[in-house]
Amino acid sequence: TVKAQGKNGVRASGEALVEESARRSRLARDLPGAIARGELRMVYQPVAGAEERRVLGVEALVRWDHPELGPVPPEEFIGLAEDDGLIVPLQRWVLATATAEHARLVAGGRDLKLGVNISVRHLQARCLVEDVTRALEGSGLPAHLLMVEVTESVLMDDDERLLAELAELSALGCVVSLDDFGKGYSSLAYLARLPVQVLKMDRGFVSGIDTDPRVAALVGSVVDLGRTLGMDVVAEGVETRAQLEVLTALGCRFLQGWHIGRPVPAADLPARVDGFDPALVGGPEAVAVP
């Protein structure tokens, strides 16, 4: 497919490029009405604790069911929304929907955090704190259960006010996490100054962890870095038992990926969370002794 060619870095044919740009303009044209037409929905992926041996939280991931093109992945439309000034209304819908669905999930006494991905553009628009506050008030979700995930690109914007906004979210009681850590630009010097409590290690690290000792060593040093900075480290993209075992041996306690669970609609979460099989985070022998 066009997408696969682009992703693999293979030069797309002229025809494929035309097709790709036609799809892009089609998506850009249809996106503005997508919220109102009810074409967006949220799915939730579990994050488990190796020591707790249970699901500790879920990450909210947006989906667009296009009536003719079918499911469109967020990587195809978040960027469009950012370019077209639609990201703030889209994020507001995501925040309101995810906090409301999560509030229902924890109403019965489940102790689970909710991760929501935020665009740096929303931070730059200076209304993120206000929008988060409104979502928490509207849903009744306690602030400490909300984790706001920002990507490394926040580091590239050398703007102190962005960091101040993140600090304000922490002051509200929310958790702030740095997503896709290690995927692109990372300034280690800057990391120490970031008001974040959680590092989400990009799945690029995890994919070679069980076959390449150098990758394992690198992941071990990210886990140590997190410990030094007082941040929890979550491994993303844990797909196999073998990866899980190396991660736990390296002291990585928080795990997310298809091995732990695929993203599912809110209605399926109670069964996933309450019926979670602790063997998925390894046997007691696989859990590193602190």
Contact footprint for ligand C2E (CB under 6 A): 45, 61-62, 73-75, 78, 94, 117-119, 149, 179-180, 203, 236-239, 257-258, 263
Q: Name the binder of 78 from Mg ion, ligand C2E, none, CB < 5-8 A by kind.
A: ligand C2E
CB of 45 to ligand C2E, least distance (A): 6
Element holding 72 (H helix, E strand) = strand 70-72
Please state the closest distance from residue 109 (CB atom) to ligand C2E, in A. Answer: 27
Q: How far apart are CA 159 and CA 61, in angstroms?
A: 27
Nearer to ligand C2E, 32 or 74 (CB): 74
Selection from Mg ion, ligand C2E, none that 131 binds (CB < 5 to 8 A by kind) is none
> Pairing state of beta strands 198-201 and 175-181?
parallel
Kindly state the helix (H) or strand (E) to which residue 117 belongs, with its residue range: strand 113-117
The nearer residue to Mg ion, 205 or 248, going by C-beta atoms, is: 205
Cβ at position 256, least distance to ligand C2E in Å: 6
- Residue 237 site contact among ligand C2E, Mg ion, none (CB < 5 to 8 Å, cut-off depends on kind): ligand C2E
Q: Which CB, 194 or 201, lies closer to ligand C2E?
A: 201
Measure the CA–CA gap between 257 and 205, rounded to whole angstroms.
13
With CB under 5 to 8 Å by kind, the binding choice for 58 among ligand C2E, Mg ion, none is none
Q: In the complex with ligand C2E, which residue's Cβ is closer, 19 or 239? A: 239
Q: How far apart are CA 274 and CA 167, in angstroms?
A: 33
- Given ligand C2E, Mg ion, none, residue 258, with its beta carbon under 5 to 8 Å by kind, binds ligand C2E
First to last CA, the chain: 47
Report the distance separating Cα 77 and Cα 90, nearest Å. Answer: 10
Contact 286, 248 (CB under 8 A): yes
DSSP for 225-278, written as a single string: HHHHHT-EEEE----SHHHHHHHHHTT--EEESTTT---B-GGGHHHHHHT--G
Residue 71 is encoded by which pair of tokens? 């499911």
The residue ranges that bind Mg ion (CB under 5 A) are: 117, 149, 179-180, 236
User: At its nearest, how many Å lie between Mg ion and the CB of residue 60?
Assistant: 9
Q: How far is the CB of 67 from Mg ion (least distance, A)?
A: 26
Nearer to ligand C2E, 30 or 149 (CB): 149
Separation CA 182–CA 200 (nearest Å): 9
Q: Which does 210 bind (CB under 5 to 8 A by kind): Mg ion, ligand C2E, none?
A: none
